[in-house]
Amino acid sequence: MSGLINKILRLAVYTLITCTGACAQSLASIESKEAAIEQAQAVSNSFLGSLKSELVKAMAEGGPKNAIDVCSRKAMPLTESSAKSASYVAGLKRTSMRVRNLSNAPDERELKVLNHFASLAASNEEMPQYYLQVEKENFHFYKPIIVDAPCLSCHGTKASLAPDVLAELAKRYPEDQALGYSLGDFRGLLHVTLRRGN
Ligand code: HEC
């Protein structure tokens, strides 16, 4: 009997040790600034790439009105799944000074960075590829999002939008502020938060 208890105890201790290892792994962190930039770039590119290909596919299949549906259903889940793609990713968010979906509205920290990029854009200065903040617990990586030609069918001027797209947007997003953009405009940021180790 005591042999069995011993076995159970040993198993429990073993499980505890493996779990501690696994738990530490599930909260993996990044140490150097260079590694943070590299990982954040990879997460950003993969997220923005998947979103763009979903969008292009939906537009080719059923035009921009159909793609609005895909965009509103897929943008959030894609953001969540990309955020979980690596254990050191503590957050992933698209934000803008003029949002379509209010749940993408910037917090105070993001607003400051948005203002910084917007002022660079306003003075026609070259947009940096990214901006990195190093804090005690986290790295905050921000990638500027620029308006490209395919974006204009849903973020262009009211006059340039197809009437069915305009109507659908008004129906789904009565407080939409994300219209009126032109090619090359600064649209917003992708904010990636990475856990920082010491
Ligand atoms: C088919 C229409 C459509 C196209 C094309 C489109 N978007 Fe959007 N965009 C949307 C919708 C709908 C939302 C709101 C998504 C949601 O509900 O989360 C959105 C949200 C966003 C957001 C998040 C901030 C906010 O306003 O809520 C950004 C940033 C953005 N779009 C940038 C772009 C860029 C850059 C492109 C071109 C590469 C693009 N969009 C193309 C429809 C579109």
What tens-digit pLDDT sequence spans the chain (198 residues)?
455 445 544 444 333 333 344 444 456 889 899 999 999 999 999 888 888 888 889 999 988 888 898 777 777 777 777 777 778 899 999 999 999 999 999 999 999 999 999 999 999 988 999 999 999 999 999 999 999 998 999 999 999 999 999 999 999 999 999 999 999 999 999 999 999 987
Tell me how many domains the chain contains: 1
Atom of ligand 1 nearest to the CA of 188: 29
Beta bridge partners of 194: 89, 139
Does the residue 9 lie in any domain? no
* Residue 84 CB partners (closer than 8 Å, separation 6+): none
Does the residue 11 lie in any domain? no
Does the residue 17 lie in any domain? no
Atom of ligand 1 nearest to the CA of 51: 38
Could you tell which of 56, 151, 152, 181 is best to mutate to test the pocket of ligand 1, judged by most ligand atoms within 8 Å of the CB?
151
Does the residue 114 lie in any domain? yes
CA 192 to CA 144: how far, in whole Å?
12
CA 95 to CA 60: how far, in whole Å?
26
In a 13 Å sphere around the CA of 109, the CA atoms on its Cβ side amount to 14
Does the residue 28 lie in any domain? no
Does the residue 23 lie in any domain? no
Find the domain containing 170 and state its range: 33-195
**pTM for the whole structure:** 0.85
Is 193 within 8 Å of 99 (Cβ atoms)? no
Does the residue 68 lie in any domain? yes
Does the residue 172 lie in any domain? yes
130 C-alpha vs ligand 1 centroid, how far in Å?
20
Q: Can you give the C-alpha Rg of the chain in angstroms?
A: 22
* Residue 97 CB partners (closer than 8 Å, separation 6+): 106, 111, 114, 115, 118, 188
